[in-house]
Amino acid sequence: MRDELFYMGQEIISHKSEIAQGVIHYQEQRYADQLKLSGVKVEQITEWRMQLIEMLGQSLFEDKAVSFDKVTEWTGRVGKVALEKGIPLNESLKTLSAFRTAIWDIFSEQLRDQQISASLMLQVNSEINPILDEIAYLLNEVFRTQQKDQLALIHTAMDELSAPIVPIADKVAILPLIGEIDTHRASSVMETALKKSSELQLEYLFIDISGVAIMDTMVSHNLYQITNALKMMGVQSVLTGIRPEVAHTLGNLGITFEDLKTSSSLKKALEDIGFNQYEVVLPV
């Protein structure tokens, strides 16, 4: 059987150009159109496919670990280009089945003339299928990793937007908070506040909560954690914008900010540290 598989492998390798053309024949027209739109040259795509076909042929007679190493390198290289060019994963995966069909085609005449047995072809399939399955898995991992990285960037951008540190003077900045503050956002706010306070070498950070919709025990606890962390860095936090209805609710809940400097408005808090308001002359 080993000699027969070696023969089949060599046949696949010697007919790799023909098999690559067969893949083109069997791939869906939609995928062909997408490849054209990607801007990748047909010659390059054909070359990649012939490389894969050669690896499939070699897998019939070489060490399995070697075959899988080659496939891993090939998939990483080609998958990266597919991502950059916007070639969809689902269409790429569907096209893998075309390689099986195109390989069968080059042996159809030998099968018909009984030069090779159907059982041998089934054995070839059983050897090649795990390689194609591995490619499908690796391609999926390439795309999944890219999506994960993109989501991480989006989350980072959203976290930064949810805690915008606005410098207004040397060593002075404002952190306006708007909307709900849950545990995840509080963690993001703390991380951003600590990072920016260090970068800007802040002495004062005014945390304005006039836009916070709900102020309850959990939110106040989160604010305490943020201000305490800033205090350890030597940053004086001032909580501003506590609306009368919010103060009333906090009073009913027994929540006070005795250990935290507060102010009814951001304007007053800035004036308390000597931040002067200059007259602004608008152009006519």
pLDDT in tens, 20-73: 998 888 887 877 788 887 888 888 989 999 999 999 999 999 998 999 999 999
Q: How confident is the model at residue 219 (pLDDT cuts 50, 70, 90)?
A: confident
pLDDT of residue 160: 53
Residue 282 domain-assigned? Answer: no
Q: How confident is the model at residue 150 (pLDDT cuts 50, 70, 90)?
A: low
Q: Output the pTM of the full model.
A: 0.56
17/70 same-domain check: yes
Residue of higher predicted confidence among 97 and 276: 97
Residue 219 domain-assigned? Answer: yes
Domain that holds residue 193: 166-272
Residue 161 domain-assigned? Answer: no
Q: What percent of the chain has pLDDT over 90?
A: 15
Can you tell me the mean pLDDT for 157-172?
74
**225-260 as b/e, with b when 16 or more CB fall inside 10 Å?**
ebbebbeeeebebbbbbbeeebbeebeeeebeeeeb
Q: Count up the domains in the chain and report the number.
A: 2
pLDDT of residue 253: 63
DSSP letter assigned to residue 107: T
Does the pLDDT value for residue 258 go beyond 80? no
Q: Residue 84 belongs to a domain with what CATH number?
A: 1.10.490.10
- CA 192, CA 194: separation in Å to the nearest integer? 6
146/247 same-domain check: no
19/46 same-domain check: yes
Domain boundary among 156, 177, 192: 156
Which residue is associated with the tokens 């005014």? 206
Structure tokens at 72: 């891993």
Q: What is the mean pLDDT of the chain?
A: 82
pLDDT, tens only, 223-240 = 788 888 888 899 988 888
231/144 same-domain check: no
pLDDT of residue 254: 67
Does the pLDDT value for residue 181 go beyond 70? yes
